Amino acid sequence: MQGDPLSERSYNHVTFKVPDSEFDEYVSRVKQLGIEVEPGRDRVSGEARSIYFYDYDNHLFALHTRTLHERLVHYSKG
């Protein structure tokens, strides 16, 4: 990200979709960087797997095993 670091953390974030089969490897790689990892949302059964983490400039990133569209379709069937 360009510009000055954010003065505080927020929920505004950038999300990357990763294959479920590679999810654990991505989580491991993020943790190896020494970054604090927040647990994913387990509010809806079968939602998919996800983690959230902040970079050193307070930008929030997420890794999800489904896209937003896929998750919305899943919610609508609930």
pLDDT 10s digits, 16-27: 999 999 999 999
DSSP 3-34: SSPPSS--S-EEEEE--GGGHHHHHHHHHHTT
Please state the pTM of the whole predicted model: 0.75
Domains of the chain: 13-77 (3.10.180.10)
Whole-angstrom CA distances from 16 to 7, 62, 68, 78 are 24, 6, 10, 24
Residue in the structure block whose two tokens are 């929920």: 11
42, pLDDT greater than 70: no
Residues 6+ apart with CB under 8 A from 26: 18, 63
